[in-house]
């Protein structure tokens, strides 16, 4: 009753084959190594002005991301405090209802 019943296999097991012998193939090493191709891309050169602009842009990004994260943290803190105040008020109301009996 509790023994598993396995379905019959759809396909018969594969027939056994005899292993074949492979002969290794020797590859001759290349005598000349080709040189690396020359890149056609322009090289980026930073001037003092562009470096200053890049630093100012990075600083602005850090300030904006920091302001957003601080405002999100502040919103979570305010929500937590308001939920705590509501819980205290509800507990006081429930205690007053029980004392009234």
- 46-77 pLDDT per residue, tens: 888 999 999 999 999 999 999 999 999 999 99
**Is residue 70 domain-resident?**
yes
Give the mean model confidence (pLDDT) for residues 66-94.
97
**Is residue 29 domain-resident?**
no
Q: Which domain holds residue 80?
A: 59-101
pLDDT at 92: 94
**Is residue 63 domain-resident?**
yes
Give the mean model confidence (pLDDT) for residues 87-93.
95
pLDDT tens digits along 13-54: 666 766 677 777 767 666 666 677 777 777 778 888 999 999
CA dihedral 46, 48, 51, 52 (to 10 degrees): -160
Range name among 3-12, 16-25, 64-73, 81-90 with the lowest pLDDT average: 16-25
CA dihedral 51, 56, 61, 66 (to 10 degrees): 130
H-only helix segments in the chain:
48-99
């Amino acid at each position: 009753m509790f023994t598993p019943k396995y379905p019959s296999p759809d396909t018969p097991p594969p027939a056994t084959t005899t292993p074949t012998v492979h002969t290794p193939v020797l590859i001759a090493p290349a005598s000349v190594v080709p040189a690396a191709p020359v890149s056609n891309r322009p090289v980026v050169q930073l001037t003092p002005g562009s470096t200053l602009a890049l630093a100012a842009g990075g600083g602005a990004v850090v300030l904006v991301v920091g302001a957003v994260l601080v405002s999100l943290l502040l919103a979570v803190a305010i929500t937590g405090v308001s939920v705590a105040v509501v819980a205290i008020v509800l507990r006081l109301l429930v205690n007053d209802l029980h004392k009234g009996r």
